[in-house]
Structure 1
Amino acid sequence: MTIFISILWNNVIPLSVMIALGITLHRVFSLDIKTLSKLNFYLFSPAMIFNLLYTTDIPVNVLFKVLLFFFLFMALLYGCVEAAIRIRKTPRAMKGAVRNSVLFYNSANYGIPLNQLAFASNAYTLSVQVLIMMMQSLLPNTYGIYNVNSHKLQARDIGRTILGQPVIYAIPLGLLLHNLHVPIPLALSTPLGYLANAFIGIALITLGVQLGSMKLTFRHPKIKDVLVSCALRLIGGPLLAAAVVWLLRTNNVTMIDSLMAKALIVSSSVPTSLSSVLLAVEFDNEPEFASQVVLLSTTISIITVTCVIYFLHI
């Protein structure tokens, strides 16, 4: 019960308050969702990921183990999503939105606070979560863009769009400057900190603005797709992560210790990322579906995330 209350109070309620503010502001002022989306993609998100990678120490052996887990986990998760798409005969224009809703999860503004809560702000488990967040920041700005545009744009145009995303440059730059111990002048580090700190708030406001123009209804024609995506994300995610961890530990491939194993499973249990909504809005690909998945998965995660942490504790 203590874990349940802590997750509810420290994670879900703050997120809900910010989303509610976005809904209210949109209802009163009719905010421009496209402008907010561009601010997230081209300014706040790159600053946040660069700042976190620049300031966090990540051992090389931890990097290797986490990346190996991540690629195996994502391959299995992708297979499950593709199976669901084929079984349900999802229309081509919607396939990208469904994939994004399951493959991209909220490893930053939900995953990091959750990691600190579940593991008492342990620096080791935090480094694991930062690496997961790094990959989850890179994927939406590469594969995610391809996903939502593959049915309507040529490969050359998609490639040009991907190369225009600042995040794909912020990640290697942040890692490089950190490892080379290159100091950033105060004139740059101060505004960078302002932008990084603004990311979570602006992203949640953006989600609220999108939700403000719609309503969650179980009579919606795509509600079954929403429920399938939520189930794959919140139940399939941690189950597949546990299977990958078990496989690696059984075969002694990477010497994954118990604490890292738990951190990796918890990292996979979080709800759908705001990135899926930002992508859907920015490239006009099923924004209503994406918003409903984020809203419902975040709500249901109160129960599912608590169960994952509980089972890991026992």
Structure 2
Amino acid sequence: MNVFLHILVNNVLPISILIALGIVLQRSFKLDIRTLSKLNFYLFSPAIMFKLLYNTAISLSLFGTVMAFFALFMLLQYALVSAVVRLRGYEPSMRSAMRCSVLFYNSANYGIPLNQLAFHNNPYTLSVQVLIMMMQSLIPNTYGVYSVNAHKSDWRQIRRVILSMPVIYVIPVALLMRYLSVPLPDSVVTSVDYLSNAFIGTALITLGVQLGSMAWRISRKLLSDIGLSLLLRLAAGPLLAWGACEAIGAHGLLASALIVSSAVPTSLSSVLLAVEFDNEPEFASQTVFASTAVSTVTVAAVIAMLGV
């Protein structure tokens, strides 16, 4: 019960307040949501990724293990969701939206504080979470962009968009600068801090703006699709993560950190992609909202079962 209340008060409630503010702002002023999504993609997300990678100590052995886990885990998730969308007979846009809702999970503003809660601010497990966040930032900006555009654009246009995403350059630069101990001027550190601090708030307000702009005509099919996404993300996700840990021989604290990292709700990236490229934005927004709410129970259950 303590874990449940802690997640509710310290994870879900702050998120809900910012989403609500976005809804109120949209109802009052009709904000330009594409401008908000561009700020997240091109400024705030790259800044927080650079800051975390540059400031976090990560060993090469841990890097290799986490990358092996992540590759296997994503393949397992992709195989499962691809089988489901094929059985359901979804249209291309919905196939992409469902994949994004399952494959992209909230490893940043939900995963980082959750990791600190579950593992009592352990620097080792935080390093694990930062690596997962790195990949969960890279994949939406590469595969995610391709996925939501593949059915309506040619490869040259998609490639041009992917290559314009700053985060694919920020990640190797931050890792290299960390490895070589390249110092940053104070003015640059301050600027990066300002930008990275704006990421979570702006992303959540963007979700609220999208929710506030919808008519909320919820059909039985939409509810079914959202429920299916929640099942695949919040229930199947931790089970597949456990299987991936067993396959690569990860045990103990490392395995627990990896499984907890997989249990979080659908990422805001799926909403930003849906809005930016006009791909099932209503489904994406409502799924993020619903999975965040339901995760109070499912994440607490995962932590309790792991006994961390």
Pairwise TM-score range, normalised by the shorter structure: over 0.9
- The one of 258, 282, 291 equivalent to 2:285 is 291
Query: In structure 1, what residue type is equivalent to 2:92?
Result: R
In the other structure, the counterpart of 1:281 is: 275
Deviation at 1:98, TM superposition (A): 1.0
Deviation at 1:257, TM superposition (A): 3.7
- Aligned with 2:265: secondary structure? coil
The 8 Å contact of residues 217 and 223 in structure 1, kept in 2 or not, is answered as no
Which string of whole-angstrom CA distances, capped at 9 and with x for unpartnered residues, describes residues 4-50 of structure 1?
11111110101111111111111111111011011000110011101
1-side partners of 2:45 and 2:36: how far apart?
12
Query: In structure 2, what residue type is equivalent to 1:195?
Result: L
The 8 Å contact of residues 77 and 103 in structure 1, kept in 2 or not, is answered as yes
Query: In structure 2, what residue type is equivalent to 1:273?
Result: S
In the other structure, the counterpart of 1:261 is: 255
Matches within 5 A, 1:111-150: 111-150=111-150
Query: In structure 2, what residue type is equivalent to 1:10?
Result: N
2-side partners of 1:170 and 1:96: how far apart?
26
In the other structure, the counterpart of 1:206 is: 206
2-side partners of 1:292 and 1:37: how far apart?
17
* Aligned length in residues: 308
Query: In structure 2, what residue type is equivalent to 1:170?
Result: V
Which segments of 5 or more consecutive residues in structure 2 lack a partner in the other structure? none
2-side partners of 1:152 and 1:312: how far apart?
43
In the other structure, the counterpart of 2:195 is: 195
- Scaled by the length of structure 1, the TM-score of the pair is 0.96
The 8 Å contact of residues 214 and 288 in structure 1, kept in 2 or not, is answered as yes
The 8 Å contact of residues 142 and 162 in structure 2, kept in 1 or not, is answered as yes
In the other structure, the counterpart of 1:252 is: none
Matches within 5 A, 1:74-85: 74-85=74-85
- Scaled by the length of structure 2, the TM-score of the pair is 0.98
1:30 to 2:24 alignment = no
Q: CA RMSD in A?
A: 1.1
- Aligned with 1:222: secondary structure? helix
The 8 Å contact of residues 203 and 268 in structure 2, kept in 1 or not, is answered as yes
The 8 Å contact of residues 144 and 279 in structure 1, kept in 2 or not, is answered as yes
Query: In structure 2, what residue type is equivalent to 1:60?
Result: L
Which segments of 5 or more consecutive residues in structure 1 lack a partner in the other structure? 250-255
In the other structure, the counterpart of 2:71 is: 71
Given the superposition, is the C-alpha separation of residues 220 and 288 from structure 1 closer, same or farther in structure 2, using an over 3 Å criterion?
A: farther
2-side partners of 1:49 and 1:220: how far apart?
38
Which string of whole-angstrom CA distances, capped at 9 and with x for unpartnered residues, describes residues 182-205 of structure 1?
011112111111000110000000
2-side partners of 1:43 and 1:212: how far apart?
24
2-side partners of 1:5 and 1:292: how far apart?
23
The 8 Å contact of residues 216 and 292 in structure 1, kept in 2 or not, is answered as no
Which string of whole-angstrom CA distances, capped at 9 and with x for unpartnered residues, describes residues 74-128 of structure 1?
0000000001101100111221111111000000000000000000000000000
In the other structure, the counterpart of 2:45 is: 45
Matches within 5 A, 1:84-233: 84-214=84-214, 218-233=218-233
Deviation at 1:247, TM superposition (A): 2.5
Identity of aligned residues (%): 60
In the other structure, the counterpart of 2:298 is: 304
2-side partners of 1:196 and 1:74: how far apart?
26
Query: In structure 1, what residue type is equivalent to 2:66?
Result: V
